Structures are given as structure tokens and as C-alpha cells.
Amino acid sequence: MSEECVFCDIAEGRAPGFVVAENDLAFAILDIQPLSQGHCLVIPRRHVEWWDGLTDDETDAVFRLARLTAAKIRKVFGPDLVTMYVRGRRVPHAHVFLVPTFKDDPLDRVFNALEGFQEQATTLTAIRGQDEMRAAAEKLKGA
């Protein structure tokens, strides 16, 4: 446990949290700054800064609880998908974000932009070959 960690305080009952599910090693709460209604965080009870510092048992408990919580989110809010990612930067205690996501909402647009960036690298590689460069130069010369 960390002395100045809001998630540790919630785990120990010293701070409020809207707990929606829990097990012996983890708990799920509503995010107090949600990206959409039903946005939850799944948090290991033990203070661990990064997710790869979790024990095997904690990893199992956190991700089983994440799956259970995502199912609850789907049932109650009916999103297109529940986006999951793991952080620990702003609050240095590993936590899984579970965000109900709908087509064209802000998070969907962010992930679409990231996927577009990933795809762009392949697209750009295809235009960097000598033959492609020569053809583009000829087109520009003729314009």
C-alpha cells in the first residue's frame, strides 16, 4: 500500500468509490472523470505501479474482474464495444480502463486515428520505392 494513493485509500475504505464489482485481489469502480457513462476502472488491491508488476494471481484476478465488469457494462449500457486499456501514469497504481464506446464517439475517433496512423506507415512504405518515386517525379514534371 502507498501512503498517498487514492486507489489504495479506496481499497482500504479510507476514500469513497462507486464499487461495481470486486474479488479478493481487485475491485472495479466507476471512473470519477468518465469518458462515457459506465466507464469503469479495475484496480488491483495491492499497490503496483505498472501492470507488468502484478503477480500471476493478481493478473488473473484483475483480468477476470475486467471481463465480468465489461459484461455488466455491455448489458446495462449496450455499447458497440468496451474499450480496454491499462494505465498507471496519472495515478501511479496500475488500473484497467473499461470504456463503453460507440461509433464516432470521442474515444472511437481517437482509436480510429491511431489505427489510421498505423496503416499509414505501410501505405507510405509503398510509395518510397525507386519505381514509385520515379513515376511520381514524372507525373510532377508533366503537370
Question: Which of 15-24, 30-39, 92-101, 122-131 is least confident?
Answer: 122-131
pLDDT in tens, 57-114: 999 999 999 999 999 999 999 999 999 988 767 788 999 999 999 988 888 888 788 7
The pLDDT of residue 2 is 46
Mean predicted lDDT score pLDDT of the chain: 88
For 38, the 3-state DSSP assignment is coil
- CA torsion through residues 3, 5, 11, 17, sign: positive
The answer to whether the CB of 45 falls within 8 A of the CB of 84 is no
